[in-house]
Amino acid sequence: MSTVTDSLVLARRNVIRMSRIPEVLLFGLIQPVMFVLLFTYVFGGSLKIGNTTDAAVYKNFLMAGIFAQTVTFATAGASAGIAEDMHKGLVDRFRSLPMARGAVLTGRTLADLAQTALTLLVLAIVALLAGWRPGYAEPTNLARVLGGFGLLLLLGYAFTWIGALIGLSVRTPEAATSGGLIWLFPVTFISNAFVDTGQMTPWLRHVADWNPFSATVQACRELFGNPGVTGSDAWPMQHPVWASLLYSVLIVAVFRTLAVRKYRRAAE
């Protein structure tokens, strides 16, 4: 049996499912677009980035944060989808088939990755229309911008494995939807995504600087040539690209192991 083939078969299944419930995809798109517009026009002009409250600077500062938050929200989808599979009897069929054990979970996370990529594409277009400009503060190039999106996708993929574990741990699909989402708020807000961490109290700033999520945001700002790259001494802020890669790979390794083990033992 082949883990790769089985995972792809199940990824295909989940992509077909998503295409049959386009509302979910649509709402998944509306939310980040709303965030872009709300943050840009409500907070822009009041928040100080570096030494300025210029709305255009905040806009360019903000986008990396919104992109990163959007990719992590895929977690809720993974968590709900897996919880639903576990409770609908379909999982018994999968577990009685001679297929790779982790394929049900890998298939789901791969499908979520595809959905995240699509969301990110739409969001980038909206961001450009709203005035986001790569290279606004520092020069950059296409490869660096694409690299930034690569890191974002990797972060999103890593987080869906956390979602997978949540989906396997809760008792109802309803609980999975909220359980997959609520913890993302502190994770994405105690970070450098929406504000300059330099203005936080020291202990909170410390948390924000070491937050894996912040590393990706910082890396993206650097790669996009956007303003607001913090001058913190914390290692992840000094080496954000490496930190982002390392964190994401670590999250996949840890949470994939835990989730696959839990899947195997489910209902025993």
Partner 1 sequence: MPGAIYAEGLVKTFGEVRALDGVDLDVPESTVLGLLGPNGAGKTTAVRVLTTLLRPDAGRAVVAGLDVLKNPTAVRRSIGLSGQFAAVDEYLTGRENLQMVGRLYQMSARDAKKRANELLERFNLADAADRTAKTYSGGMRRRLDLAAALVVSPPVMFMDEPTTGLDPRNRQQLWEVIEELVAGGTTLLLTTQYLEEADRLAHDIAVVDHGKVIARGTSDELKARTGGERIEVVVHERADIPAAREVLVSHGLRGTVHEGCTVEQHTRKLTVPVTGGAKLLAEVIRELDARGIEIDDIGLRRPTLDDVFISLTGHAAEGGREPEGTGEDAPPDGPRGTLRSTSESEEVTK
Q: Which residues bind partner 1 (CB under 8 A)?
A: 1-2, 5-6, 9-10, 12-13, 16-17, 20-21, 88-90, 92-99, 103, 267-268
Tokens representing residue 44 in the block: 């822009």
Q: What's the full length of the chain, in residues?
A: 268
Nearer Cβ to partner 1 (88/171): 88
DSSP β-bridge partners for residue 137 = none
CB of 165 to partner 1, least distance (A): 21
Tokens representing residue 28 in the block: 């998944």
CB of 3 to partner 1, least distance (A): 12
Distance between CA atoms of residues 47 and 26, nearest Å: 30
Q: How buried is residue 208: exposed, middle or buried, by Cβ count under 10 Å (0-12/13-18/19+)?
A: buried
CB of 6 to partner 1, least distance (A): 6
Nearer Cβ to partner 1 (99/184): 99
CB of 107 to partner 1, least distance (A): 10
Nearer Cβ to partner 1 (105/154): 105
State how far the alpha carbon of 187 is from the alpha carbons of 22, 207, 209, in Å. 28, 10, 12
97: left (phi over 0), alpha (psi -120 to 50) or beta: beta
CB of 92 to partner 1, least distance (A): 5
Nearer Cβ to partner 1 (98/231): 98
Nearer Cβ to partner 1 (42/90): 90
